[in-house]
A and B are shown apart, each in its own frame.
Chain A
Amino acid sequence: MFPTPIEKRTRGWQIGYQAMLPVVLIAWLLPLLAVMLFSIKPEADFVSGNYWSLPSNLDGFNNYYKVFFESDMPKYMWNSIRITVPTVIGCMILSSMTGFALGVYRFRANLWIFFMFVAGNFVPFQILMIPVRDLTLDIGLYNTVQGLVLFHIAFQTGFCTLFMRNFIRALPFELIEAARVEGIAEWRIFWYVVLPLMKPALAAMAVLIFTFIWNDYFWAVVLTQGSEAQPVTAGITSFNAQFRAAYHLMSAGSIVAALPPVAMFFLMQKHFIAGLTLGAVK
């Protein structure tokens, strides 16, 4: 193991290390801690220029009440859910199929199609912006949740295919051959043999896509406007305009907006990290 395990060092080292951990962590999260503090401070503290003291009273929790009941925030959150969940499901369906096709079968175009997905996945968004916006306008889905969902599914299929294909490649191929010898139809092999084995990969991918899509801002601005269809990332900017320098409300709003992916991460940590490494680092 590298670096040398701390338990093999002297007592002094060990205590030093244990003491350093929280200090470094606090320094690392300092900007975030500041926002957490802001979010529970009453407005009066900001008016009196009292930025960094502890909250002078407990009125600060009203900030969260206001965010939930006196702003468009719940609407934006709901839109985010309506965008994120179908996208995740759509990606899982499409990429388990493409991943299966590219991971199991050998044919001439295989690697080319795979590389097309990989390359497309890395393209800068701006090169897609104008045509995708026009297309969405043409099919009447501009400023709708569906318009965003369709694009997200299509684009994320690139990443998901990369992910699923690599995972399927690592499965024992004998399983599939054994099934073929039994004379089982190919689609049944997909459904009954490969799909059950893909579950952990699908879970990892789902958590990751959830976070990506929840945090998307660019496409939300390009394909939607107003609280009808905009997700929370775009919503928070109009929130910014609505509350101007109301730091207490802005910070409470930001925390609420950031919460779902954070919760997802802490609940599904193992899957999340497996997903981030693209399955390449084990």
Chain B
Amino acid sequence: MTNTASEFDAPKRGWYKRNEIAVTPFLFLLPGVFFFAVYVIYPVFQSFNISLYKWDGLGEADFIGLKNYQKLFEDRAFETSLWNNLKWLVLYLLAIPVGLFISLFLNQKVVGIRLYKSLFFFPFVISQIVVGLVFSWFYDPTFGIFTKLIGLVGLEIKGGVLGNPTAVTYGIIAAGLWPQTAYCMILYLTGLNSVDPEQVEAARLDGAKGWKMLWYVIIPQLKPATFIAFVVTVVGALRSFDLISIMTRGGPFGQSRVLSYYMFEKALSEYGFRMGYGAAIAVVLFLIMLVFIAYFLWSMYQEEKGAH
């Protein structure tokens, strides 16, 4: 013992030494927990509080109870945003099966396949801002490739995809699906690597192939990858902000807003600083997310229990 105690920790001997194993984790956690509490945990509660006030961010805040939430019910723009969020959630999940199929397509050993895999993954690495710009040109009503392509089969979308109130949200979701699919693809490619070859062979001997093999043998083994793909896709769908901000700014006529964008618009834009109302929107978004967070934590908890 004596030879490990340097001059540095000599004064701390005694109580600290005796309780070292109990105390150390808390010392190591202190800075991280402090930062996280100040910047993430406490603000969540603050937002709940702010949502009960009428506040412009500078002057006095008036306590108005649940009035902000009452107003939400009559707010058409809020309703549109909520519906659009639902569309995002549902359609974004397409990234999971599409990603799976691309990964199956690429799960071969031919010359250059590594490069192909990287290039397929490419869209995920670029920022959503650039993806948004790229897609707004892709959809451009005068020169966009998309417009030309659907023109070939005689289709036309009035005002272009991003100028058309019905098409706009789907257009932006498609743009978001591009990187998200790439993400799911890479998750599945990694997952496919660890699929047990013996099980596959055994199933083959039993006559399983194609869809049956995929459904009964492969997909169950990909469960961890699917779980992560589901988590990141749901989070991605509810966080959608960048694409809307760069592609349409919520337009036309506010038809492409989602809660995250609408909240920002209310709280921090030229339309004035309605912090309380913005906070109320954020709380609704948070509660939706909370359902998923609870599910994620529950799944993780089950796994933790299994591990011990």
A binding-site residues for B, Cβ under 8 Å: 1-3, 5-7, 14, 17-18, 21, 24-25, 28-32, 34-35, 38, 49, 51-52, 94-95, 97-98, 100-102, 104-105, 107, 110-111, 113, 115-120, 122-135, 150-151, 153-155, 157-158, 161, 180, 182-188, 190, 211, 214-215, 217-218, 221-222, 233, 236-237, 240, 247, 250-251, 254, 257-258, 261-262, 264-266, 269, 273, 276-278, 280-282
Q: A105-B24, A129-B263, A151-B39 are in contact. Are A254 and B116 (CB under 8 A)?
A: no
Q: Of all chain A residues, which has the CB nearest B112?
A: A21
Given contacts A49-B143, A129-B264, A155-B40, 6 further A-B contacts (CB under 8 A): A95-B32, A102-B25, A111-B301, A130-B278, A183-B1, A186-B21
Instruction: Indicate whether B86 reaches chain A with its CB closer than 8 angstroms.
Output: no
Docked-complex contact B116 and A118, CB < 8 angstroms: no
The A-contacting residues of B in range 257-277, CB under 8 angstroms, are: 259-260, 263-264, 267-268, 275
Main secondary structure of the interface of A (DSSP, over half): helix
Docked-complex contact B283 and A28, CB < 8 angstroms: no
Q: Which of B42, B191, B293 contacts A281 (CB 8 A)?
A: B191
Docked-complex contact A276 and B29, CB < 8 angstroms: no
Q: Which of A98, A150, A183, A257 contacts B130 (CB 8 A)?
A: A257
Instruction: Indicate whether B70 reaches chain A with its CB closer than 8 angstroms.
Output: no
Can you identify 29 A-B contacts, CB atoms within 8 angstroms? A17-B108, A21-B116, A31-B145, A34-B145, A35-B133, A35-B134, A97-B29, A102-B25, A117-B32, A118-B297, A120-B41, A126-B259, A126-B264, A126-B278, A126-B286, A128-B39, A131-B50, A154-B40, A157-B32, A157-B36, A185-B9, A186-B20, A188-B4, A218-B241, A257-B127, A258-B125, A258-B130, A276-B187, A280-B227
Docked-complex contact B125 and A184, CB < 8 angstroms: no
Most buried by B among A104, A188, A240, A258: A258
Q: A5-B108, A120-B36, A132-B43 are in contact. Are A125 and B239 (CB under 8 A)?
A: yes
Query: B234 → chain A, closest Cβ, in Å?
Result: 9
Q: A3-B107, A128-B39, A218-B241 are in contact. Are A31 and B135 (CB under 8 A)?
A: yes
Q: Of all chain A residues, which has the CB nearest B242?
A: A217
Docked-complex contact A127 and B135, CB < 8 angstroms: no
Docked-complex contact A34 and B134, CB < 8 angstroms: yes
Instruction: Indicate whether B197 reaches chain A with its CB closer than 8 angstroms.
Output: yes
A264 to B124, CA, bound (A): 13
Docked-complex contact A129 and B190, CB < 8 angstroms: no
Docked-complex contact A254 and B39, CB < 8 angstroms: no
List the A side residues contacting B260 at CB < 8 Å.
124-126
A134 to B42, CA, bound (A): 13
Query: A223 → chain B, closest Cβ, in Å?
Result: 11
A28 to B187, CA, bound (A): 18
Q: Of all chain B residues, which has the CB nearest A6?
A: B108
**Binary interface profile of B, 235-271, with partner A (CB < 8 Å = 1, else 0)?**
1001101100110000000000001100110011000
Query: A148 → chain B, closest Cβ, in Å?
Result: 12
A259 to B130, CA, bound (A): 11
Docked-complex contact A237 and B129, CB < 8 angstroms: yes
List the A side residues contacting B50 at CB < 8 Å.
130-131
List the B side residues contacting A21 at CB < 8 Å.
110, 113, 116
Docked-complex contact A186 and B24, CB < 8 angstroms: yes
List the B side residues contacting A131 at CB < 8 Å.
42-43, 46-47, 50
List the B side residues contacting A184 at CB < 8 Å.
4
Q: Of all chain B residues, which has the CB nearest A217?
A: B242
Instruction: Indicate whether B75 reaches chain A with its CB closer than 8 angstroms.
Output: no
List the A side residues contacting B202 at CB < 8 Å.
none
A31 to B182, CA, bound (A): 14
Docked-complex contact A217 and B263, CB < 8 angstroms: no
List the B side residues contacting A120 at CB < 8 Å.
36, 40-41, 44
Docked-complex contact B24 and A101, CB < 8 angstroms: yes
Instruction: Indicate whether B28 reaches chain A with its CB closer than 8 angstroms.
Output: yes
Q: A21-B116, A123-B286, A131-B47 are in contact. Are A38 and B36 (CB under 8 A)?
A: no
List the B side residues contacting A17 at CB < 8 Å.
108, 110
Query: A48 → chain B, closest Cβ, in Å?
Result: 12
Query: B176 → chain A, closest Cβ, in Å?
Result: 13
Docked-complex contact A217 and B39, CB < 8 angstroms: no
Q: Of all chain B residues, which has the CB nearest A34?
A: B145
A2 to B200, CA, bound (A): 7
Q: Which of A126, A134, A158, A277 contacts B225 (CB 8 A)?
A: A277
Q: Which of B57, B238, B246 contacts A124 (CB 8 A)?
A: B238
Most buried by A among B137, B191, B296: B137
A135 to B38, CA, bound (A): 9
Docked-complex contact B145 and A98, CB < 8 angstroms: no
Docked-complex contact B289 and A129, CB < 8 angstroms: no
List the A side residues contacting B268 at CB < 8 Å.
129, 133, 222
